[in-house]
Chains A and B, each alone.
Chain A
């Protein structure tokens, strides 16, 4: 049985394996929920099936239905036992949530993620911006998506900000969603352990081209990330689908790429 749980939990059913440190907590809760939910579900279905077969009315039978109505010990049992289970699940969940949701006071790296109808803008500490809108004509086009570059193994703090309507930052391998809501300052920490290219997508209906509001996360080994970062000039902009080096504002002009402070810059 334990083996079976391991087997199912190792892939989290159909979901991809998490690549962040949060994966541990998500997996733990899945396992525990499974341990409680499967037996209870099977018990209930089993009892229903048994009752249906055993107590079904057969034509010609003159069996008299029992007319009992209360059985206090049994009723108390199926009130108290579920209460205890709920308390246990809540305890586990409370602990996991505190760990998974913890935010560092002084993060190593902060990036601001801006969502807009219908694309993404990633602002780095040196005001380098990666920006891109989806290709509205071709959902299968993966080459012109905006890319969020992250270092592997380091805790990155993301601030997610909406420039217009509500969006959601969602990368399935991160096992994580967070909404971008005008007026709500959302910050979370992310430690991706496994380098690779991941697909992300807006996960909250945001208008006509919601389905096309996709992006990619490229997680690089720290050294490679550092090299990449050093090559991005102050206040430069890389636009997805546009080849060539990042563009910079004219010398002397103020930097237009400074992040917005949790408020709507269009106001």
Chain B
């Protein structure tokens, strides 16, 4: 907000014409934060709230790792430990990475990237944010109740979640909190899909949209397909808990397995709902920093679409050990999804090939994403095979697998933050702090989660509050905990960087990275309603074409 005043002077005509469009006093500060329907302000709100959730949930992870550093530890009680991992997982998925990527970056960037003045439904957009913030509040409020927050894990398998097994308001607040973020997600999806279909600038045909916008579009369709099922499951569970229905109560003819099917029918698309935006971010960062067009642009879109389609048919690979699903079908679908993901990897490598790769923090985080996600993908192919999953199901191998995947995405999100921070604030983030943060995160993260593969192979189940000293899990847990502290330091370095650069960062200018897509055509930060004028849009990188008419995309092969 203060930065808005400090941004470098625009040519005379620009600012004057803006004031003529929207006369009168403009809200600022807290009032602007609360009332704004501007997609950029709402996007920033999402990003800031998401990062707060990341810090809170990360602190919970450190508490859990501290509990596990030695066997038979009594740092926290069983119930507190159960609350910690439940709310850690819930915040990370429902408040941090999902909304931050598709609603935070999505809100801020989609209109800018397609040359639109705002979202299709700005006030609806505002409602989405406040529902989401309310959901965050509800989830945290569980800790204030006398029975504590929810204690049954982020996928809350019935019948443990029934009122008789998990009494108290903690479970209800968890239900309502996730329900609210679910509605928020659905509303954002409606809004962003409409925006992409109706508000593209002249010349911005679908096949000229940046990959990020394509990925957000597919993500939003996944949200529309998956979140209503989740919300219905939550409604049914709420009825079970409060109105004595028996949807998930086997004793009265209900089916606990129904919960698992409904939850994972949402849960696996959710994994791609959080992954696709990060794929998009990394694609944009790589293309910009390598100063090349995205290699295999159309193949990339086809890969995104097939990931979206396949992801609707893989949910039961979370349920191999239930003995109640058709193993070969879900195994085939789960293995198949590796193919489009592989295509993306080779496209990313193709984008780097023969470019001029600028090794700045945003690029390093993208590379971090590639490596972590690759490893998570490979262990994913192992887990997709039912016979191997019978061995590894619910062990720390699974914990390591999905943290490699999700922390890979977090690296992607960090790449996005370093990359678009200049656009959002008008200043660049410090490269020095950024590289320190990257190094700490890379080392800390791998030290935390690599040993967990081995812990899983050695048979350590997830979600146990403590363990027997004779199992041979001691030193691997020590390593993992030390790694988690280093990860924490890495996150703090970036958080410090975010605050510090807000005042002291180098002034960025409109297009500090010599980037390619439309958001770099307006000032940093962009004015209200975004664009005074647009460069001609004749390819998927209009800004590059305008700046480098001598280096247009080579047609043909």
Contact = CB atoms under 8 A, between A and B. Distances in A.
Contacts of A94: 328, 331
B221 interface: no
Nearest to A58: B356
Contacts of B257: 181, 183-184
A217 B196 CA distance: 59
Contacts of A72: 557
A15 B71 contact: no
A67 B327 CA distance: 45
A51 B349 contact: yes
A175 B82 CA distance: 26
Interface string B292-320: 11111111000000000000000000000
A55 B457 contact: no
Interface residues of A, number: 89
B417 to A, nearest CB: 21
Interface stretch (A120-128, A146-154, A205-213, A223-231): A205-213
Given A164-B159, A205-B463, A208-B82, A65 B255 contact: no
B393 A168 contact: yes
A246 interface: no
A195 to B, nearest CB: 19
Contacts of A14: 453-455, 457-458
A167 B336 CA distance: 30
Contacts of A179: 321-323
Given A82-B342, A170-B461, A267-B251, A101 B327 contact: yes
B160 A166 contact: yes
Contacts of A56: 356-357, 359
Contacts of B469: 140
Contacts of A247: none
- The size class of the interface chain B forms with chain A is 35 or more
Given A48-B349, A181-B324, A210-B465, A61 B356 contact: yes
A91 B381 CA distance: 14
B547 interface: no
Interface stretch (A106-114, A196-204, A232-240): A196-204
B338 interface: yes
A202 to B, nearest CB: 7
Contact of A69 (B297, B342, B371, B387): B297
Contacts of B79: 208
Interface string B386-398: 1111110111000
B352 A26 contact: no
Given A14-B458, A140-B468, A55 B355 contact: yes
A13 B297 contact: no
Interface stretch (B51-59, B134-142, B149-157, B170-178): B149-157
Contact of A67 (B293, B386, B455): B293
Contacts of B296: 69-71, 75
A55 B165 contact: no
A25 B458 CA distance: 18
A64 B347 CA distance: 20
Contact of B321 (A26, A71, A177): A177
Interface string A171-186: 0100111110111101
B9 to A, nearest CB: 29
A210 B464 contact: yes
A72 B300 CA distance: 13
Interface centre among A57, A188, A201, by most B CB within 10 Å? A57
B470 interface: yes
A41 B374 contact: yes
Contacts of B336: 86
A177 B331 contact: no
Nearest to A176: B390
B72 interface: yes
Given A16-B458, A211-B465, A30 B388 contact: yes
B385 A33 contact: yes
Given A67-B553, A184-B257, A97 B387 contact: yes
Given A71-B557, A205-B463, 20 more contacts: A15-B458, A51-B352, A55-B353, A67-B292, A72-B557, A75-B346, A140-B72, A140-B469, A165-B159, A165-B160, A166-B159, A168-B394, A177-B389, A177-B391, A181-B256, A184-B322, A184-B323, A203-B462, A204-B394, A205-B82
Q: Which 3 A/B pairs are nearest by Cβ-Cβ distance?
A: A172-B459, A267-B251, A15-B457
5 contacts: A56-B359, A78-B346, A97-B386, A117-B165, A202-B461
